[in-house]
Amino acid sequence: MTLRRTIVPSLWFDGDAEQAADFYVSVFPNSRVASATRYPEGAPGPAGTVMAVEFELDGQRFTGINGGPQFPFTEAVSFQVVCQDQDEIDRYWAALTSEGGSEGPCGWCKDRYGLSWQVVPDGMDEMFDHGDPARAQRAMQAMLTMSKIDLKAMREAADGVAAG
């Protein structure tokens, strides 16, 4: 039996859905733009311009809609990028914050389109849910001082190793 994903995140853009899809496909492996639908004559958007774009990021389907400026992105919705190591954290962080993106606290950033991302290491939750409240507190305090996650510094803080 083949499972079909029936929940597809739909992202609202102000005219740059196609450019955003192309950007995201360039950042994430195993990704592709599947199709673009254009506004017909008499539609709310200019005839021939992209109305919606379907794309996949590492197998996850998305739809980008050129809906206009009414609904900008907020931090209330973000996508989490779980990374295997510091090199992966660094690579995604650099790509997502490039050309007008911005850094936020605790592994959060925004890309050039204003979409929020959490770039975090795999297993980070284990530092906070280890059964040792002091270890969890040290990891949390270290993370609260970071913008991009420094995995080594977080692990050392969790383990009680003095910075230096």
Q: What is the pLDDT of residues 61-84, one digit of tens each?
A: 999 999 999 999 999 999 999 999
Q: What is the pLDDT of residues 90-119, one digit of tens each?
A: 999 999 999 999 999 999 999 999 999 999
Pairing state of beta strands 32-38 and 102-103?
unpaired
Task: Provide the percentage of residues in the chain whose pLDDT is more than 70.
Answer: 96
Farthest-apart Cα atoms in the chain, separation: 65
Distance CA 73, CA 115 (A): 6
Q: Give the chain's domains with CATH numbers.
A: 1-71 (3.30.720.100), 73-164 (3.10.180.10)
Beta-strand ranges (E) seen in 48-136 are 50-57, 60-66, 78-83, 102-103, 108-110, 116-121
- Note the pLDDT of residue 129: 82
Q: What is the pTM of this model?
A: 0.90
